[in-house]
Amino acid sequence: MQLTILQVAYPLAPVGIDATGGAEQILTSLDLFLTAVGHRSIVIACAGSQSAGTLWPIPALGDEKLTDDGRRQIYAAQQQAIEQVIRNYRVDVIHLHGVDFAAYLPPDGPPALITLHLPLSWYEPTTLFPARARTFFNCVSAHQERDCPPGMARLPSVENGVATELFTAHQAKRNFVLALGRICPEKGFHLALDAATQANIDLILGGALFPYPEHERYFADEIAPRLDRHRRYVGACDFARKRRLLSSARCLVMPSMVAEPSSLVAMEALACGTPVIAFDRGALGEIIEHGKSGFLVRDVQEMADAIASANEIDPAFCRHTARTRFSRSRMAGDYFHLYERLAAMDKQPANTLAETIRMDEQETVSATQQAHQQIEMSNAAPAERQ
C-alpha cells in the first residue's frame, strides 16, 4: 500500500543532509526512506531546506531576531501550508516534529503522529492532551517514555537511528577531543572546554549558534572566554565535515545539562568507532555502555580522567553497537509500521487506539520485521553526498 505522509518540521530550522537539530535529521532520514521505497513524502519546512520528496517551503527567519509578531507570522504560514497540502493531496498521516506543534496542529483531518524529540518538561503539559481526534505521540527512548504522564495517547517508542552506512570510513585518530551540537546553555559545552583544559588536550567545538538572545549570551559569557589556540570553535559543520571530525577525534564529549531524550551525535560517533564520554543524564545511559563504548561520568574531573582513558575503548565494538542498534533503516521500519496502523484506523478515541497498538506486540514485531526487510531490499541508502 502506497502511503502519503506529510512531515511537518519545526518551522525555524531547515531540514536536509546538513541539518543541525536531531528532529530535523530524523525527518530527513524518514523522507529519504519513504521516497526510496515508493511512498509519497511531503515535507513542510522553512526555505533553504532540502527534501527527497516534495518540499513545501515556508518563509525562513534568516538572520532576523525572532519577535513575538514574527513567531505568529511563521505559525500562520505553517498552518496555511498544512491546510493547502491536505486540500491538494490525500494525506494518510501527518507526522509533526516540532516542539511547538500545538501552534499549528490542524483542528481535524488525517491521523497525526507527534514525535517527542525533546525532554518532556519542554512541552506545555496541556499540549500533551490535545482535543483533536486521532492524534498520537511517540517517544524516542525508554527514559523519555518513563516521564510521560498517564493517559497520553502514546504509541510504542521508536528509538532514533542514524546513517551508520555513511560513517564507515576509517581515519587515523588524532589527539583532540570533539564536542558537537547547538551552542546553547543546556548542552554545557563550557564544561567540555574545562575538561579538555584539565586533560591538557586540544578540543574542537562545532555547532550552529542561532540568533536567540540566550544562546548568544551563553556563547559570549561562557564559551568565548575559554577559547584559545588549543580549544577552538569552528562554527556549524556540514555533513562531510562532521563525519571527518567524528572519525578522527579521540573521543566525543557530551556534558549535557539536561536529561537528553536521545543523542544522534553519540550514535554517529559510535558508528565512526569513536567512544563517547558523557554525563549520565537521560537516555545517554541507554546509548553508551560504560567501559565498552565510552564512559558515563558525573563531573568535569571525571570527564577529564575519562578523556585520558578513551584509547582503551575498542573502536570495533563501537561500530558493531551502532550497526546493530542504531541504524536508520531499523528506525524507518518502526515508523512505517506506525504509519500503516494509523492510516488504517477507524475514528475511535485516540487513547483507546493507542492502547490497542501498544498491546498488539506480536503483530508489531512481525510487521516491523517485514518493513525492515522491505527497506533493506530496496537498497535504500539514499543518494547523499559521500
pLDDT of residue 61: 78
β-bridge partners, 232:
204
| Third-level CATH fold of 164-325 | Rossmann fold (3.40.50)
Calculate the average pLDDT of the chain.
90
Determine the residue type at 97.
H
Is it true that 4-161+327-377 and 164-325 share their CATH fold? Answer: yes
β-bridge partners, 276:
252, 294
CA 365 to each of CA 200, 330, 338, 358, 359: distance values in angstroms, whole numbers, following the listed order:
48, 12, 12, 11, 11
Q: Give ∠ CA 365-128-99 in degrees, rounded to 5.
A: 90
Burial class for 343, CB neighbours closer than 10 Å (0-12, 13-18, 19+): middle
Please state which of the ranges 62-71, 107-116, 235-244 shows the lowest mean pLDDT: 62-71
Mean pLDDT in residue range 11-24: 91
pLDDT in tens, 195-236: 999 999 999 999 999 888 999 999 999 999 999 999 999 999
| Cβ neighbours of 129 (radius 10 Å) | 14
CA 355 to each of CA 23, 139, 337: distance values in angstroms, whole numbers, following the listed order:
25, 15, 16
65 has pLDDT over 90: no
pLDDT of residue 380: 46
Max Cα-Cα span within the chain: 61
| Third-level CATH fold of 4-161+327-377 | Rossmann fold (3.40.50)
φ, ψ dihedrals at 162, nearest 5°: -130, 170
pLDDT in tens, 118-137: 999 999 999 999 999 999 99
Q: What percent of the chain has pLDDT over 90?
A: 81
pLDDT of residue 288: 98
pLDDT in tens, 21-45: 899 999 999 999 999 999 999 999 9
pLDDT in tens, 347-385: 555 565 566 555 454 444 444 445 555 555 444 455 454
pLDDT of residue 67: 85
Question: Any idea where the domains of the chain sit in the sequence?
Answer: 4-161+327-377, 164-325
Mean pLDDT in residue range 304-313: 97
φ, ψ dihedrals at 285, nearest 5°: -70, -20
CA dist., res. 78 & res. 9, Å (int): 9
